[in-house]
Structure 1
Amino acid sequence: MQRRGLAASGQPPGEPGPGSAELWEQEMERLCASRVPVRALPYPMEDKRVIWWLRVPDGEQPSCWERWLRKRQMERRRLRDSVQRLARGFGLWEAALYEIGGLFGTGIQSYFTFLRFLLLLNLLTFLLTASFVLLPLVWLHPPVPGPALNLTLQCPGSDQPPAGLQRFHNQFWNILTGRAFNNTYLFYGAYRAGPETSSAYSVRLAYLLSPLFCLLLCFCGTLRRMVKGLPQKPFLGRGHRRALSTKVFSSWDFCIHVPEAAFLKKREISKEFKVELEEQQRFEQVQQQTGAQRAYHLLTYLRVNLLIGLLVAGAISAIFWATKYSQDNKEEELFLLLQYLPPGVIAMVNFLGPLLFVFLVQLENLPPNTEVNVILIWCVVLKLTSLGMFSFSLGQTVLCLGRNTTSCESYSYNACDYQCWENSVGEEFYKLSIFNFLLMVAFTFLVTLPRRLLVDRLSGQFWAWLDREEFLVPKNVLDIVAGQTVTWMGLFYCPLLPLLNTIFIFLTFYIKKYTLLKNSRTSPRLFRASSSTFFFQLVLLLGLLLAVLPLGYVVTSIHSSWDCGLFGAYSAPWQVVPELVALHLPLVGQRTLHYLSSNAFSFPLLLLLSLVLTACVSQAKANAQAIQELRKQLLWQVKDKWHLVEDLSRLLSKSGPIDSPEPESPRPRASRPRSFCPGFPCPGSPGPRSPWLGSSLGHPAGMHSHSPGPHGSPVPVCRFRYPSTVEP
């Protein structure tokens, strides 16, 4: 008790001694007996130190070992915090993302964050491919010659290009078409290895599983990011929206002292308020619609979608015939033009399609949210189906899909025109990736920049109507998703394509940032970062699915080229897996894998997954019910607190005059039920307290009471104060 007496002797100046000492003892007894961690107490740091010191039992001092451990823990915690702050400071584009978010809102910031995410995915994919394929291949020095192609078939014509074609094949055109890198590790044909043995590292297995593992890793990362950005409001409902007044009073960060940071924070809060008000206005408009208006909007919606569907079908047909014509006439004199005909048609379709979609949708006067959703959905369909049709047309030309087989196509591919067909397909994806990036650069500096210069320097009604280009986040996201889908589709044929795409994304970030800050105007349609992030990841997952399907078909069903690559001696690349299993695994392991791939394992696994899904659904329903009960309990706790305030005010008014007015309840007094325990805390509240003491840690600030003293004179009962509240 010596320490308590010393602590109690530290009286705040101007406070009566006996009342303060008595309150001090009571509070210290309660705090010392409580098991609440000091860190969780709502007190200043100085008061927490006093409470922690008082909780140590009398006569007990921590040993040297305990003090040393506590000191090391504090040092490790401080070091971890410093490392995290340093990592955030050196993070890629952190300052640029903060500036964009403050100036243009979190919706546009989410696009640049999405660029950084794709950059990390491509860099990780390249590192995995280099670690498991390139480095072992260079270290093992495999034999260069491979199996020769035995062309004993009747092939029409000669496979030699015309002599006049050589003048077009300078080094620049070869770089654009990818033929300059045919003998490098950029394409599939340069990867060669000797026969499989029981001891050597299997480069074939690594080359086969690396794309599949990279796609699986990208799927997990995208799914995790999509779940993290999943908007919670559709699941909570309209009845649990946070009030706008909460954002008004809790949005500001009082740690900001720099004027530039304060300006960015003000802009960010302003964007959030605009988004909130726009969502509320849209909801009210939907609620005010009549049945006839809803039926009219439904018919209009169907008519618009029918017209757009016909346009998409025409665009897909144009891509198919352009790819077929380019492959059938690839050795003509107009070599470069024909080589870039499919990418050019795809780019034209993806450029004109969204413009026509916007024009058709705006003619029908749809609601703003329906208009945006229709445009976005059809843009996604157009971009992904165009890539799908491009892949199918390549398969029909190179792999003879859907065509009558002839003597030249007995190996499941066109052996006369495409002796190393993997390189030819890889060149197509390489050209498509190069063309998309060059088109983005050309459009930025040859269209957007001159448009901004003309609009800023010339005056007139036409230039005021033209204005700067609008920075549309969904359109830019769809463009970058289309480029990433091309990279995933060409991962097997062009293993180093992720490195090329990493460079393109790195340059795209700065080009788009320049376009946003200098050449463009922001869209008046604001949206949340959470909903946009979810949409971006959903589109990315669709692109990943589009890349996995043709890759799985090629790996499991198509014969590889005979004169290049790693799988020329196999009927399909996947056949190397059973061979290596027979070489490296013992008989028990082989039987285990055979059982895992059989129906005897599939049916129990399906039954187990059904039980797990049932348990998850049941748990989700139980959680939803518990959440509803907790919300009701929270409302009752708020009502109980107002009952306690009323009872306390009534008792204080009976004992004497009060210094401060009675707090007003948000609801009328007559509309609230009476307390079952007037003057005392309700069951479940922390510890019994004497309401006539007038002040404790739970009482409102500024509330004092006067209790009668020994001679009938009112003696003010003072509130307890910690050392941090003592005025100097």
Structure 2
Amino acid sequence: PKEYLITLQVKVKKWMKFQRDFENFRTACIPWEMKIKEIESHFGSSVASYFIFLRWMYGINIILFGLTFGLVMVPEALMGKPYGTLPRKTVPRAEEATAMNFATLWDFSGLAQYSVLFYGYYNNQRTIGWLKFRLPLSYFLVGVGSIGYSFMVVIRTMAKNAHDDGGGDDNSFNFSWKMFTSWDYLIGNPETADNKFASITTSFKEAIVEEQESRKEENVHLTRFLRVLANFFAFCTLAGSGYLIYFVVRRSQQFALEGLENYGWWERNEVNMVMSLLGMFCPTVFDVISALENYHPRIALRWQLGRIFALFLGNLYTFIIALMDEINLKLEEEKIVRQNMTIWLTNLYNGTLPENVTGPPPHVSLADVPRGPCWETMVGQEFVRLTVSDTVTTYITILIGDFLKAVFVRFFNYCWCWDLEYGFPSYSEFDISGNVLGLIFNQGMIWMGSFYAPCLPAINVIRLHTSMYLQCWAVMCCNVPHERVFKASRSNNFYMAMLLFILFLSTLPVVYTVVSVPPSFDCGPFSGKTRMFEVIGETLEHDFPSWFRKVFRLLSNPGVILPFILLMVYVQYTFILQIKNKINNRKITVLVQNAN
């Protein structure tokens, strides 16, 4: 009947409206989704892939922040001994006058150093509070669990992207499909229509570049010569950067031996500032060098990422080697301090030291007690300072290099001798490779330093949150689309592969210090132990039955662990082969359908 058809049409329209509203609601619930869509419509998928990657890393750091804040910092602040009850929780007498100065706090010394922000503040009590919370065990497990969770998420995301990337695209009549099927006729908002128009225009530019690259003819011998020359220049830049870092680190060690109080601000922060400046200017040099190679923009981006990756990796491990040298110096100093503390206590007790003495007499102020060098806090401070200085350098670069440059070009173009917009200096393009590598290596520092500074994940969450808004604003207001717009791959697995490699390299120094380096004797939750991992054995000894300890020792035997590792490698290899087979089968299916 006619009435039934009318009723059915009304219901179908309501259902379609409900689906659109639900899709809009779902999109609105995704953080920064509309901002990223707007950037993608104006600048292409290559620029948008950076912001998608940033949002993904923001989610990872929220979880890491929740672990460290909820299971380490809050229990110590609420149930641990308060400030001033132990020497490790008290500012020394020599530092009291400047403990609250802004310059001292900005350097993460003074009162900030003797707080829950750093490793040295935590006590080695086995249990704290009325909950009998095992803080040393929680501290160790959170550090290990954060690394394990990061590995799991990165590998899972890579596997998911590889699976989603295998569907294949039908490239037949590409321009015709874009011309006649790109517009969404349900759009009713003028701003949305403008964004959609910009998105279609950008997709045509991407498709034109892809077609031009596929048909391009070039002089093979000249191209090879220019690419060899470009790689030579890149190698010289990397070698010069490595030597400069080595030279600056040696200078900083000399300054530390002579006393940093005798030097100014630049000498105290020289290593951090040089690393930040190299990370800011070297990508620009690599970008100029890449113009000689004449690669496809997507391939050029990967070469750029690889070179900056090598630059940052060399800088980071040079920095780590310097820290290891400083740790060894602190360990040697610790032996002398322990002897001096024994002599000091003997003098306090009139030449005869009672048995089981763990502290000075009550009449001695805790601020006057000699302290051993807490190398863990020193390492945590270095990573926090490096993270903060890198953040400040990045923001200043955006404000000066992008915003002020754009203002100058915009307002002085009318009264200048040449066209500033199309000549020098022109508007800036968004540096995809430099920003992606900056994110990856900053995350590597978070993974490496959060064991010694539980505040690092919180600092990184703030950094990523502000970076999203500041960089979105800078892109839309100060940057112009790339001259050669190209389409990014449907997954960010190239970014993920570098992130996984950095995660692996970041865990090596942490594992080395946990397994091989003795903890400081008078600071941190593992003080009094020969190695940090002994907290696991202590827990098994006191909290589990004897049969469980025997099973655990059996499972931790190298003869059991090695076959298990080999089995995991075999399973991972088989999994990768299955994904590749699925991708190839889907591509063959698409080719057969196109042929038919």
What's the CA shift for 1:127?
1.2
Counterpart of 1:213 (choices 145, 150, 154) is 145
What's the CA shift for 1:301?
5.6
Extract unaligned runs of 5+ from structure 2. 342-369
Contact 2:248 2:270 in 1 (8 A): no
Distance 1:625 1:105 in 2: 28
Match in the other structure for 2:47: 108
Change (3 A) 1:623 1:538: closer
Match in the other structure for 1:332: 261
Match in the other structure for 1:65: none
Contact 1:189 1:420 in 2 (8 A): yes
Distance 1:625 1:431 in 2: 48
Counterpart of 1:277 (choices 204, 208, 212) is 208
Counterpart of 2:436 (choices 462, 477, 495) is 477
What's the CA shift for 1:570?
0.7
Q: Is 2:311 aligned against 1:379? A: no
Task: Within 5 Å, give how 1:152-191 maps onto structure 2.
Answer: 171-179=101-109, 180-191=111-122
Alignment: residue pair count: 553
Counterpart of 1:367 (choices 292, 295, 301) is 295
Change (3 A) 1:563 1:193: closer
What's the CA shift for 1:426?
1.4
What's the CA shift for 1:264?
0.7
Q: What SS does the corresponding residue of 2:503 show, helix, strand or coil?
A: helix
In the superposition, the TM-score normalised over structure 2's length comes to: 0.79
CA shift digits 1:591-628 (9 cap, x unpaired): 22222222442454356447646755775676567547
Q: What SS does the corresponding residue of 1:201 show, helix, strand or coil?
A: coil
Change (3 A) 1:422 1:599: closer
The residue type paired with residue 551 of structure 2 is T
Change (3 A) 1:241 1:323: farther
Counterpart of 2:554 (choices 581, 591, 595) is 595
Contact 1:190 1:565 in 2 (8 A): yes
CA shift digits 1:666-694 (9 cap, x unpaired): xxxxxxxxxxxxxxxxxxxxxxxxxxxxx
Match in the other structure for 2:406: 452
Contact 1:146 1:564 in 2 (8 A): no
Match in the other structure for 2:418: 461
Q: For CA contacts below 8 A with separation 6 or more, give which structure has more relative contact order.
A: 2
Task: Within 5 Å, give how 1:221-260 maps onto structure 2.
Answer: 221-230=153-162, 243-260=174-191
Counterpart of 1:141 (choices 71, 80, 89) is 80
Match in the other structure for 2:367: none
Change (3 A) 1:238 1:502: closer
Contact 1:323 1:393 in 2 (8 A): no
The residue type paired with residue 276 of structure 1 is A
Distance 1:609 1:122 in 2: 27
Match in the other structure for 1:321: 250
Match in the other structure for 1:201: 133
Q: Is 2:324 aligned against 1:395? A: yes
Q: Is 2:388 aligned against 1:434? A: yes
Distance 1:323 1:128 in 2: 34
Deviates more, 1:111-120 or 1:223-232: 223-232
Deviates more, 1:272-281 or 1:609-618: 609-618
Q: What SS does the corresponding residue of 2:261 show, helix, strand or coil?
A: coil
Task: Within 5 Å, give how 1:320-719 maps onto structure 2.
Answer: 320-362=249-291, 364-369=292-297, 371-400=300-329, 419-458=373-412, 459-461=416-418, 463=420, 464-530=423-489, 533-602=492-561, 604-605=563-564, 608-609=567-568, 612=571, 616=575, 619=578, 623=582, 627=586, 630=589, 634=593
Distance 2:411 2:285 in 1: 30
Distance 2:93 2:182 in 1: 71
Distance 1:595 1:479 in 2: 43
Q: What SS does the corresponding residue of 1:461 show, helix, strand or coil?
A: coil
What's the CA shift for 1:269?
2.0
What's the CA shift for 1:203?
0.8
Change (3 A) 1:261 1:47: closer
Distance 1:448 1:621 in 2: 42
* C-alpha RMSD of the superposition: 4.2
The residue type paired with residue 396 of structure 2 is A
Distance 1:621 1:561 in 2: 49
Match in the other structure for 1:72: none
Distance 1:350 1:253 in 2: 42
What's the CA shift for 1:323?
4.1
Distance 2:383 2:41 in 1: 38
CA shift digits 1:213-254 (9 cap, x unpaired): 122222333333344444977x78999778443344433333
What's the CA shift for 1:532?
7.3
Distance 2:337 2:151 in 1: 33
Change (3 A) 1:44 1:576: farther
Distance 2:312 2:198 in 1: 34
What's the CA shift for 1:560?
1.1
Task: Name the one with the larger helix percent.
Answer: 2
What's the CA shift for 1:574?
0.8
Distance 1:630 1:93 in 2: 36
Match in the other structure for 1:307: 236
Q: What SS does the corresponding residue of 1:257 show, helix, strand or coil?
A: coil
What's the CA shift for 1:178?
0.2
Q: What SS does the corresponding residue of 1:192 show, helix, strand or coil?
A: coil
Contact 2:272 2:389 in 1 (8 A): yes
Which one has the largest radius of gyration? 1
What's the CA shift for 1:188?
0.9
Counterpart of 2:62 (choices 95, 117, 123) is 123
What's the CA shift for 1:399?
2.6
In the superposition, the TM-score normalised over structure 1's length comes to: 0.66
Distance 1:599 1:242 in 2: 59
Distance 2:229 2:6 in 1: 62
Change (3 A) 1:236 1:509: closer
Extract unaligned runs of 5+ from structure 1. 1-6, 13-42, 51-74, 150-158, 639-728
Contact 2:430 2:480 in 1 (8 A): yes
Change (3 A) 1:476 1:294: closer
Contact 2:77 2:116 in 1 (8 A): no
What's the CA shift for 1:491?
0.1
Task: Within 5 Å, give how 1:86-97 maps onto structure 2.
Answer: 86-97=25-36
Match in the other structure for 1:37: none
Q: What SS does the corresponding residue of 1:530 show, helix, strand or coil?
A: coil
Change (3 A) 1:433 1:634: closer
Change (3 A) 1:144 1:590: farther
Change (3 A) 1:326 1:511: farther
Deviates more, 1:239-248 or 1:202-211: 239-248
